Amino acid sequence: MFDSLSDRLQGIVSELRGHGRLSDEDIDRAMREIRLALLEADVNFKVVRDFIAHVKERAKGAEVMESLTPAQQVVKVVHDELAALMGSSDSRLAFASKPPTIILMAGLQGSGKTTACAKLATFLKKDGKQPVLIAADVYRPAAIDQLVTLAGRVEVPVYAPGADVDPVRIARDGVRFAADRGDVAIIDTAGRLHIDEELMGELVRIRDAVKPHNVLLVVDAMTGQDAVNAADEFRQQVELDGVILTKLDGDARGGAALSVRAVTGKPIKFVSNGEKLADFEYFHPDRMASRILGMGDVLTLIEKAEATVDAKQAAAMEEKLRKASFTLDDMLDQLKQVRKMGPLSGILGMLPGVPGMKGLKDAQIDEKQLDRVEALILSMTPEERRHPEIIDGSRRQRIARGSGMKVQDVNGLLKQHREMQKLMKQLSSGRMPKLGFPGMGG
Amino acid sequence: MEWYEVFRGIEGEVPAAVVEEEKAERAGLLGRLRRNLGKASGALRGALTTIVLGAAGEDVWEQVEEALIAADVGVDATLEIVDRLEVRAASRGLRTQEDLIAELATAVADELRVDDPDARRIDVTAHPAIILVVGVNGTGKTTTIGKLAWRLTQMGRRPLMVAADTFRAAAAEQLTEWAGRVGCDIVRQASGGDPAAVVYDGLAAAASRGADVVIIDTAGRLHTQVNLMKELEKVRRVIERQVPGAPHETLLVLDATTGQNGLRQAHEFQRAVQVSGVVLTKLDGTAKGGIVVAIHKDLGIPVKLIGVGEQLDDLRPFDPDEFTRALFAVDG
Ligand SMILES: Nc1nc2c(ncn2[C@@H]2O[C@H](COP(=O)(O)OP(=O)(O)O)[C@@H](O)[C@H]2O)c(=O)[nH]1
Ligand SMILES: [Mg+2]
């Protein structure tokens, strides 16, 4: 069920080998696969219909038909169109010429607004701004306590007069409070159903009272087909400026991103992707496109690796990649970097072909497996690590003994190293191969 | 199913007045559910009319497919249901639109049925009965616990809440507020502590405080967070060790707006803590919650309760026929 789209298309195309060019019929079949992939990713079915109609024409163009790798070309066309659709306008916030800049957060219950408020404040603070939080969710029990606690953690001022004050007044007074204490006012509001007339009316009154520079809809990345209904109502009634996509650290394919973008016409500005307050970043349409298509998130992985590896090391690594001299020492380094990046399950999800349940199970073995790889490499001489090709039978036996493992383990490691070397070469040449990682059990 | 039938271990103890009240309440609820759940029916009726008119080409079935997809039933389950419907429509010579819609509703309801009625009920026969509540972030766990505890007190039980969400800011305060509304006891510790320790305390307190049902709130966690899932496994182990046979229920709270990821959630929580039932929340919105079809079909986990709002009495027993009738707006 969680086969990647490219695998499925590959299936279609391999049946066609020998027939030469792709026919219109082949394209139609490919489009049906893409339709299913998008539906499985929770893109709204109407959005899918429009999207397929749109890309079909391009897929019938010469770039696909005459390509030697039509399956990949189809995926590329779809991927590019998805990315273009999700990212064709500015994702930055609007800042007021005369502070405070006012940001109003809105969304359904449980979408993650309060957490997003605190994360956005953290993000802006790092950017040199002075955010102030305003607690206008007077309905959910302890929502105010939650925001106040989070404000304490972020170390920003919070305006929280209490649950018995009218939210419109809290927002209005809060903005005044924010003007004295900072330069950005972030207003947390209660979660509400888009069909709840009374609460939607209240949101409109808050908006009219404070005239926010940014109204942001907070959307759970796991949302299914209904995302369009909610987003469309919020758009019509309160007028949105953008979207924050939350809980993206899970393994949802996140088709809601496309749905919401399509019905609101507004950009997704940020994604929230972790338990920590710092897990909040600008939205990257190309990554989202890969994710929706089940192609993994190679770019995020690379970027995360870059952020973890310090700059000098990164430069050295790049140099090695270019020269394709990826030694076992480098592999060991990589391993340590991978560990620094955080729990393997998260990283696994970013790799093409593994964001399935299978990938998760593999993640359980990984840590131990990584220990073993480390032990093996540490039992080699520096010379062996630099020139693995000199590792002959007797050296293999020595390494196995030294690390308390079997010769097969040494063989396995050397094989993985070779694969990784190949992979590194491909990555450095900008292609997107199917990844295998050391210690990931195949 | 009625509320007085929901709990295994309370039957026979429920006063007649409560039963009567239940029946009245239910009449109003059906309409409300149907209004919200019935939005797919327009497209569907259109599609089925065309079938009846004899133009059942690919497109029409595709439309039926889309109606199910729109309810978040998911591609695999949808294709299977549609295949079956096609066969039945042909073999039984189903002609009228009503027949076809009824057939479709039956096909979906069949997926949600349980053989043993007890499989749908909440087991509170043990004293104390231990109910563990789990799920991803923001689905409605804490709120559901408030509603469930209230219902139990209505039925003459003495629930005790245990605030084992020590992670989210002010989570214990939120549960405390619900305990206040319900008028039941709560066990909590300072935020940031070990949830297993709170659970241990809570179970120990149950006896001394005379509670007969213990409901344990846990922190929302994504099923992909290995460490947090391990933490939950530990919570379950602590319960098992302290009270033999417990937890008697492990409820997965699922948000009706959730798409296909819901199946993954159920799968992972099932693997970690053996889910005994699903609570499907936020059905008062426009989302259909069709992913429960796949969850029941693939994992055999029944839906036990539905959430239809944010008030104390906005929790209802789940009924597959009612659910699918509402889904496709079939009368009767
Ligand atoms: N409309 C509606 N909102 C709900 C329902 N159940 C919970 N909520 C809301 O969803 C939000 C998250 O609920 P909460 O219990 O805190 O979720 P938790 O994080 O899983 O404990 C709150 O705003 C609740 O009021 C429901 O059935 N319908
Ligand atoms: Mg909670």
pLDDT tens, B106-119? 889 999 999 998 99
| Contact state of A195 with B171 under an 8 Å Cβ cutoff | no
Binned at pLDDT 50, 70 and 90, residue A152 comes out as: very high
Half-sphere exposure of A1 (CA within 13 A, CB side): 18
How high is the mean pLDDT of chain A?
81
A95 and B CB contact within 8 Å = no
| Contact state of A110 with B255 under an 8 Å Cβ cutoff | yes
Decide if B282 is inside a domain. yes
**Residues of chain A contacting residue B71, judged by C-beta atoms under 8 Å apart:** 225
Give the count of beta carbons closer than 10 Å to the beta carbon of residue B118: 9
Decide if B53 is inside a domain. no
Decide if B52 is inside a domain. no
Q: What's the rounded Cα separation, in Å, for the pair A104 and A116?
A: 11
CATH number for B195: 3.40.50.300
Residue nearest to atom 13 of ligand 1 (CA): B140
Decide if B300 is inside a domain. yes
| pLDDT tens-place string over residues A223-254 | 999 999 999 999 999 999 999 999 999 999 99
Selected residue with higher pLDDT from A375 and B317: B317
Q: Does the beta carbon of B218 sit less than 6 angstroms from any atom of ligand 1?
A: no
Q: Give the DSSP H/E element, type plus range, for residue A24.
A: helix A24-40
CA distance B172 to chain A (A): 9
| Contact state of A343 with B71 under an 8 Å Cβ cutoff | no
Which residue blocks in A127-196 are alpha helix, DSSP H?
Answer: 143-154, 167-181
Decide if B246 is inside a domain. yes
Selected residue with higher pLDDT from A424 and A395: A395
Neighbour-count burial of B141, counting CB atoms closer than 10 A to its CB (0-12 exposed, 13-18 middle, 19+ buried)? buried
pLDDT at B10 over 80: yes
Greatest mean pLDDT range, A289-293, A392-396, B291-295: B291-295
Nearest CA in chain A to B283: A193
Instruction: Select from A142, A224, A364 the Cβ nearest to the Cβ of B258.
Output: A224
Cα-Cα-Cα-Cα dihedral sign, residues B167, B315, B271, A336: negative
Binned at pLDDT 50, 70 and 90, residue B57 comes out as: low
**Residues of chain B contacting residue A150, judged by C-beta atoms under 8 Å apart:** 169
| pLDDT > 70 fraction of chain A, expressed in percent and rounded | 73
Instruction: Select from A109, A112, A141 the Cβ nearest to the Cβ of B178.
Output: A141
Q: Does the beta carbon of A193 sit less than 6 angstroms from any atom of ligand 1?
A: yes
Residue B147: the pLDDT is 97
Q: What's the rounded Cα separation, in Å, for the pair A358 and A346?
A: 14
Counting the structural domains of chain B, the total is: 1
Site of tokens 């079939």: B330
Angle between helices A167-181 and A197-210 (to 10 degrees): 30
pLDDT at A12 over 70: no
Best mutation target among A222, A228, A370 (most B Cβ atoms within 10 Å) is: A222
Nearest CA in chain A to B137: A110
**Nearest ligand, CA of residue B172?**
2
Stretch among A90-94, B158-162, B314-318 having the lowest mean pLDDT: A90-94
pTM for the complete prediction? 0.79
Instruction: Select from B178, B227, B310 the Cβ nearest to the Cβ of A343.
Output: B227
Decide if B325 is inside a domain. no
Give the count of beta carbons closer than 10 Å to the beta carbon of residue A124: 23
Residue nearest to atom 23 of ligand 1 (CA): A109
A194 and B CB contact within 8 Å = yes
Stretch among B55-69, B79-93, B286-300 having the lowest mean pLDDT: B55-69
* Domains with residue ranges and CATH for chain A: 5-87 (1.20.120.140), 101-292 (3.40.50.300), 298-428 (1.10.260.30)
A297 and B CB contact within 8 Å = no
| Contact state of B72 with A227 under an 8 Å Cβ cutoff | no
Q: Which of B310, B311, B312, B318 to mutate to test the pocket of ligand 1 (most atoms within 8 A of CB)?
A: B310
Binned at pLDDT 50, 70 and 90, residue A360 comes out as: very low
| Contact state of A252 with B171 under an 8 Å Cβ cutoff | no
Decide if B212 is inside a domain. yes
Binned at pLDDT 50, 70 and 90, residue A310 comes out as: low
In sequence order, the β-bridge partners of residue B315 are B307
Asked if A138 contacts A145 with a C-beta cutoff of 8 angstroms, the reply is: no
Q: Does the beta carbon of B50 sit less than 6 angstroms from any atom of ligand 1?
A: no
pLDDT at A439 over 60: no
| Contact state of B75 with A249 under an 8 Å Cβ cutoff | no
Decide if B266 is inside a domain. yes
Cα-Cα-Cα-Cα dihedral sign, residues B166, B172, B173, B175: positive
Greatest mean pLDDT range, A8-17, A261-270, A367-376, A426-435: A261-270
Q: Does the beta carbon of B195 sit less than 6 angstroms from any atom of ligand 1?
A: no
Q: Which domain holds residue B291?
A: 118-319
| Contact state of B287 with A226 under an 8 Å Cβ cutoff | yes
Asked if B271 contacts B299 with a C-beta cutoff of 8 angstroms, the reply is: no
| Contact state of A226 with B257 under an 8 Å Cβ cutoff | yes
Stretch among A62-76, A97-111, A188-202, A409-423 having the lowest mean pLDDT: A62-76
Asked if A305 contacts B188 with a C-beta cutoff of 8 angstroms, the reply is: no
Q: Does the beta carbon of B83 sit less than 6 angstroms from any atom of ligand 1?
A: no
